[in-house]
Every structure is written in structure tokens, then in C-alpha cells.
Amino acid sequence: MSETEFLPISGTDYVEFYVGNAKQAAHYYQTAFGFQPVAYAGLETGLKDRASYVLKQDKIVLVLTTALTPESAIADHQKTHGDGIKVIALTVDDARKAWKETTQRGARSYMEPTVRIDEAGEVVLSGIHTYGDTVHIFVERKNYFGCFLPGFKKWNPAYRPSETGLLYVDHIVGNVGWGEMNRWVNFYANVMGFEQLISFDDKDISTEYTALMSKVMANSNMRIKFPINEPAEGRKKSQIEEYIEFYRGAGAQHIALATNDIAKTVEQLVQRGVEFLQVPDSYYDTLNSRVQGIDEDVETLRKLHILVDRDEDGYLLQLFTKPVEDRPTLFYEIIQRKGARSFGKGNFKALFEAIELEQSKRGTL
Ligand code: FE2
């Protein structure tokens, strides 16, 4: 086993949001994104302080949790941050070892290794803190055969809008404060054994007004990719600063969800009410000269506002939603990779100009 493999991770286990109203948030993810109901825990299962809804689409699992009382860490989190991501859970083979290896390397413990058992088997959970109030929970579920985790019951409502072709979490981006990027890059390198894939600086990612710096950290099998952004000095307030101001600190900025047919997926999402950022039409006039040899029809991409970028391995198609809550914080990326392993650097300028247009409408530029 190499030095970097002290923490083998087989994938993103689930992403848990703390929200103001989990019942309604679950309805949104069903209706707008086509997530399927899986499991529920709340008053009916013996919980007194919270309710959680578990939704799934292919490999993507979302958990929406709300507080049932004001005296609650969940309520505090929601009051401070608004609806946002609390847990990025990672599937591991050995949650006790994951906790030991990471806390020994300096991680702050969030949950000591804990065994949860029900009639469907046994799960071991442990957790550490990462940026802001966000945490990683290590999930060892090789001896569990239930619908989600012990304590949850199957949730089987009649209402089941169809899926939209979303397959897996491609990456989850964290926004951190001024001068904090390298601290968290070092955390993922030293505490979790990740390696740096790419870095962007303010020369790559700046428009007239906004600037940011970013480094992408990935685990050894590349299933976990965490870009970390920090604001850079620009003429006006950057989108990262806007996020940090409204989220009241560092947090998860966007989740990129992969599809095998981005035009079909985006067309359905638009029909279901998901709002996407729109780059200027002129973006498509130069597309053929910038990115040659793509399979997709440029007119279809133009109609759906889908962006394209190429790197040495291939190309990718991507599109970003507007924030999915009232605070301009969390949003989604829809991505289809056709060989490319990068993150769409060629689109940053057009994209950030589209974001700035939204910022100026909010009066936060
Ligand atoms: Fe992204």
C-alpha cells in the first residue's frame, strides 16, 4: 500500500443538506431533478429532533434533513447558513481505520467510530470536520443490506416523477475565505492523502470585475474530486465573496452531477423548472473554431445554453444552474465528459460574466 492509500475511498456515499423544510425540499428534488424516494426517518420512526428524506438517482444519494425543534444543532446550522450542505459522506471499507488515520494526521473529530445495527445488518460511521461547518462522514456499509442506514424506513410515496439521466457525483466544490485555499489543499493532501490535479489562478479566472483562485484535489482512484476556491482581488466583489457573505463562512459551492446525454438531461430539467445560467449567444458563434470535432449539434447546444471545453484528453459539456435557494449560495453543475478530465477552464470567462449579470441583479457585485 502506497503512502497515499491510507484512506481508500470507493465513492461519494451521500450528500446531506440541513434545510428549513425537508418535506418541501424533497418534493423539489423529486419534481425538478427526478430523484427517487428511498428512505425516511422522523417522528414516525422514533426520532424526536429531526426528519430526514433520502432520495436517489443512479449512484447519487441526497439526504434532506430538517430540525423539529429550535434547540438543535441542525436549526442553528440552518439559521446561520440557510439551506446548505452539512455532510459529504464517503464510502470506505473500514470506517474505524479512516477515522484513526485522518485524526492522527490532524483532522478534528466530528464523530468517533459508531456502530449502528438493525435487522438489515450493521453500519460503522465515523466523521471529521472539513472547511467551515461542513463535515465528512466515513460510511462502512459492507455488512448492511437495508434501504439506507439503520433507523431509516423505506419511503414509498405514490408520487414518483421520472429520472432525468443524472448518474453520479463528478465533483463537489468548496468555497473558502481569503488566503485559506492552501490551508485546505494541504488538509486534503496531508490528512486524507489526496493529490492536486490542477490549479487555476486569477490570470486564468478573472473577468473585468471578479477573480478567484482554485486548486483541485482528488483521491487516488479519482472518484472523489474536490476543487477548493478562494476569492482573488478584483475590481468588484467576486462570486466567492458573495457566497461567503451569504453562507456566513466557507461551505460547499456546487455539486457537479454527471449525465451521459447532457442535451436530453438539460431539456428535461428546464421543462421541470430548473433555472440555468445563460451565456451570451456570441459564445456559440466562435464555438466551432475554439472546440473542433464535437459530436453534438451546435444549434442544440445554443438552444440549451450548454458550454463546451476541450483538453488534451477529450472534451466536456457542462452547464450551471442558478442558486437553488434564496441565498445566492449552493448551485448545481450538469456535466458530460467525453474523455476530458478537466473542469472547463475555457468556459470560465463566459460563465463568470453570466454570474456577474445575476450578481448585478442582486445588487451584490
Ligand atoms: Fe464544477
Q: What is the pLDDT of residues 197-256, one digit of tens each?
A: 877 666 666 666 667 888 999 999 999 999 999 998 877 778 899 999 999 999 999 999
145 burial type by CB count under 10 A (0-12 exposed, 13-18 middle, 19+ buried): exposed
Q: Examine the pLDDT at 3 and tell me if it is beyond 60.
A: no
The Cα–Cα gap between 91 and 271 comes to: 33
- Span from the CA of 256 to the centroid of ligand 1 (angstroms): 5
- Span from the CA of 64 to the centroid of ligand 1 (angstroms): 22
- Span from the CA of 151 to the centroid of ligand 1 (angstroms): 33
Q: Are 268 and 27 in contact (CB under 8 A)?
A: no
Q: Which pLDDT score is estimated for 201?
A: 67
User: pLDDT tens digits for 115-171?
Assistant: 999 999 999 999 999 999 999 999 999 999 999 999 999 999 999 999 999 999 999
Element holding 265 (H helix, E strand): helix 262-271
Rounded to the nearest integer, the mean pLDDT of the chain is 93
Phi, psi dihedrals of residue 353, rounded to the nearest 5°: -65, -35
Give the 3-state secondary structure of 123-174: EEEEEEECCCCCEEEEEECCCECCCCCCCCEECCCCCCCCCCCEEEEEEEEE
302 burial type by CB count under 10 A (0-12 exposed, 13-18 middle, 19+ buried): middle
- Span from the CA of 336 to the centroid of ligand 1 (angstroms): 11
Q: Which pLDDT score is estimated for 245?
A: 96
Q: Examine the pLDDT at 343 and tell me if it is beyond 60.
A: yes
Domain 9-154 has CATH 3.30.1330.10: no
The Cα–Cα gap between 298 and 309 comes to: 13
How much of the chain exceeds pLDDT 70, in percent? 96
Contacts of 208 (CB under 8 A, 6+ apart): 235
Q: Greatest CA separation found in the chain?
A: 60
- Span from the CA of 350 to the centroid of ligand 1 (angstroms): 14
User: pLDDT tens digits for 247-303?
Assistant: 999 999 999 999 999 999 999 999 999 999 988 888 888 888 888 889 999 999 999
Q: Which pLDDT score is estimated for 360?
A: 87
The Cα–Cα gap between 256 and 331 comes to: 9
Q: Examine the pLDDT at 19 and tell me if it is beyond 90.
A: yes
- Span from the CA of 124 to the centroid of ligand 1 (angstroms): 30
Identical fold for domains 9-154 and 166-362, yes or no, is yes
Domain locations along the chain: 9-154, 166-362
Q: Which pLDDT score is estimated for 202?
A: 62
Cell readout for 205 is 479566472
Fold of 166-362: 2,3-Dihydroxybiphenyl 1,2-Dioxygenase; domain 1 (3.10.180)
Which comes out higher in pLDDT, residue 345 or 20?
Answer: 20
Q: Which pLDDT score is estimated for 237?
A: 79
- Span from the CA of 212 to the centroid of ligand 1 (angstroms): 14
Residue with cell 494541504: 186
Residues lining ion ligand 1 (Cβ < 5 A) are 256, 333
Lowest model confidence (mean pLDDT) among 87-101, 191-205, 311-325: 191-205
User: pLDDT tens digits for 63-98?
Assistant: 999 999 999 999 999 999 999 999 999 999 999 999
What is the model's pTM? 0.95
Q: Which pLDDT score is estimated for 335?
A: 98
